[in-house]
Chain A
Amino acid sequence: MGYLGTGTLTGTEPARAGGGAERPRLGWLRRLAASDDARRLGACVAGFLLLAVMTGPEGSSLAPTSGFSGSLLHPRVFAFIGLGVGLWALITAKRRYGDRARRLSEAISAAPRRLLPNRLARYGIYLVALAFAIVYPMALSQFWQNVLVDQIGVYVLLALGLNVVVGYAGLLDLGYIAFYAIGAYSAAYWTGALPVHPPITLNPFWAIPLAIFAAMLAGVILGAPTLRLRGDYLAIVTLGFGEIIQIVATNLQSVTGGSSGPASVIPHFSVNLLGVHYKWGLGDLPYYYLLLGFVVVILVTFHALEGSRVGRAWTAIREDEVAAESTGINVLKYKVMAFSIGASTSGFAGMLWASQVGYIDSTLFTVQLSILVLVLVIFGGMGSLPGAVVGAAVLQWFPWFLRVHPLFGFQPEDLFIYLGALLVVMMIFRPEGLLPSRRRKREISLAEHGEGTADAMTEPEGAEP
């Protein structure tokens, strides 16, 4: 029924598609299918039925329909149909009485902005958030402190790094976790945990610059050639690269320990400098504060970067690559820069995580993790620092919350069903994310009206078409 909704049909086409003679009996069906309201209702109900299947029981290869029938031929399906109809009613009401609703929603969304008239108030909010982040974890249980470090802190760091690549430079990196692996393996190497030994064994704290350097180097080596090409080629090359790193880590057993990991433990951090002695141990809180400190430093750095010459160059490239190039911006250089900044942040996160957990093996660095970090960035808002932090924290916390409370019957292995659906839904309805960067939001809407590109996917100058 594609032709029903578009303006590109010609006189001959509907007749041909209808198979010549129209059957008048189904005339009402056609009219129904042509009505926007009915189609919207169908889409809403279909969406919620899909949700019913997603949340329903599992099937198996012997009974492939049991999952579907258990979720659709069950009284619970009426709840989902009801929700679908409800959503449709909301949408319809919004379309009918949209003006009033829009004014109301604008008033609501403008309220915080009015409360934050100046920079000072905004910094106040940031300070309160920081104080909260410092004090609150002390009140948490051991379990949540652990989640806070392993699942939230590390991923906030990862999301901040990928935000530079996807948000600032408009590139798609699907092998982001490969750099995380490189960071983790560098940490293991320099601390002497791998089967191959380094020239000098270092404390993980001193291995940080080396791990960052290794990840950055890998980023430059991979990025410099592929960033010359179309942006979507970068996506697929990084996807392959992520796989390759994992295969290499598995196969080179004598170097990396393979899929069972190295035998020795990666030591914890310790500082022994200028009279300060401190050793991070098994406890989660010290690592949490270490992470928090690094996150704050990175936030400040990236914020400065965003407004600097480099950040403006990225913006220019995103908005219009050809125009950027013709004003003298070296597009390739800035793309490689963004890519390697992302890579080194990822390597840094991997390094931190490896020394906290003390153990790594090649099965941990899956392509799923790369996609997970991508979802965190997209959800929070591409190109928005608060978005990356809040998006990562909320989205990483929520599955754990569901997992702990058995009421919801959440299966951890279903996580990527929801995350995949979330990506599609975000791209359709809110591509700018939860807490969008104002500039990025404007770019996306401008691009949709034919001005600029809002990404760095166009072909660079000089490449053969």
Chain B
Amino acid sequence: MCFSCFTQNFWNLLVLGLADGFLYALVAIGYTLVYGVLQLINFAHSEVFMSGAFAGYFILNGLIGTGSPHGLSSVAYVVIGIAGGACGGGVIAFLLERVAYRPLRRRHAPRLAFLISAIGASFFLYNLAGKEFGRDAVEIPAPFTNGPVFSIFGAQVTTYYIVIAVSAIAMLVILDRVVAGTRLGKGLRAVAQDAETASLMGVNIDRVVSQTFVLGGLLGGAAGFLFGLNTGVVYTMGFTPALKAFTAAVLGGIGNLRGAMVGGLLLGVVENFGAGLFGTQWRDVVSFGILVLVLLVRPTGLLGERLGRSA
């Protein structure tokens, strides 16, 4: 315990926490969306995150190589990287639903079977990635020069944080509009509220479920790329962030989109405050402690579970 480390670094920790929080929020959305339509935890979402990071890495590696872009080209590379990460995540999420979920859904398999199949898919994917792409961490070539842009109360806000915040907010707003306003969103909400009735009304459940996985996969993959920009890309990278994102989803109320956003930000901040208090090696323990605490005290999360209402 070190209160002075905490108070001295308060603003730094806050900035760091918000940056982490935006990423958790993006990943948490994936859990919450799938939970909304299937009432299942998608254990393989961590691998969606990892695939996004790898996709972004390969694309930027091919485009940038050893150069150091700046100005408008930086913006373009960031957008390309995010789009590539999102596509990677989306493709893996789509395949995941097809292979590990749909056959079981057809058979009305017990829920235990879904969880086991998803865990199996997760192990399959990340170990295969380790085999195919090498088992050492690699760095994504920097699309921009990272450096302090401005500071709040002495805490320096770097380009990286701004990139995360801007792109995450943009994606979250788009998602919010998609779920609230489009035909896909309507179908999604209908299935979340009552799948059987929705199918009687002509909603094609299979397609909605598939689209939901892809939607979550897009955000998760983009988050994977953004995360990988800072920490590097390695095949085991998905596990811990995904566990935390799940915590964020539960914290905000699973099935609740805005809850996932709020939960992500809150978890990021609290976790970094905890790290400031107890030391960084206890970071993961802090967020896991929060998960257990939330489940004990308020299992429905801060904003409550709301399946199938527009955000």
Contacts and interface: CB of A to CB of B under 8 A. Distances in A.
Interface in A51-80: 53-54, 58-62, 64, 67-68
B206 A226 contact: no
Contacts of A411: 131
Contact of B111 (A3, A240, A368, A457): A457
A32 interface: no
A67 B305 CA distance: 44
The secondary-structure label for the interface of chain B is helix
A59 B134 CA distance: 6
A250 to B, nearest CB: 8
B111 to A, nearest CB: 4
A427 B210 contact: no
B284 A247 contact: yes
Give the interface size class of chain B.
35 or more
A231 interface: yes
Interface in A230-247: 231-233, 235-237, 239-241, 243-244, 247
Given A226-B295, A247-B281, A247-B285, A2 B131 contact: no
The secondary-structure label for the interface of chain A is helix
B155 interface: no
Interface in B99-120: 99-100, 103-104, 107-117, 119-120
B130 interface: yes
Contacts of B107: 448
Contact of B119 (A174, A241, A250, A447): A174
Contact of B291 (A61, A237, A368): A237
Contacts of A172: 112, 115-116
Given A172-B112, A427-B117, A455-B112, A417 B128 contact: yes
A340 B58 CA distance: 46
B292 A225 contact: yes
Contacts, number: 200
A413 interface: yes
B100 A424 contact: yes
A64 B132 contact: yes
Contact of A231 (B111, B199, B204): B111
A309 to B, nearest CB: 24
Interface stretch (A5-13, A100-108, A144-152): A5-13
B69 interface: no
B123 A236 contact: no
B133 A64 contact: yes
B291 A240 contact: yes
Contacts of A241: 288
Contacts of A453: 110-111
A367 interface: yes
Interface string A429-456: 0010000000000001001111001110
Contacts of A61: 133-134, 136, 138
Nearest to B114: A427
A374 interface: yes
Contacts of A450: 108
Nearest to B117: A427
Contact of A2 (B40, B127, B210, B281): B210
Interface of A: 2-3, 5-6, 8-10, 12-13, 17, 53-54, 58-62, 64, 67-68, 166, 170, 172, 174, 225-226, 229, 231-233, 235-237, 239-241, 243-244, 247-248, 250-251, 367-368, 371, 374-375, 378, 411, 413-417, 419-424, 426-428, 431, 444, 447-450, 453-455, 457-458, 463-465
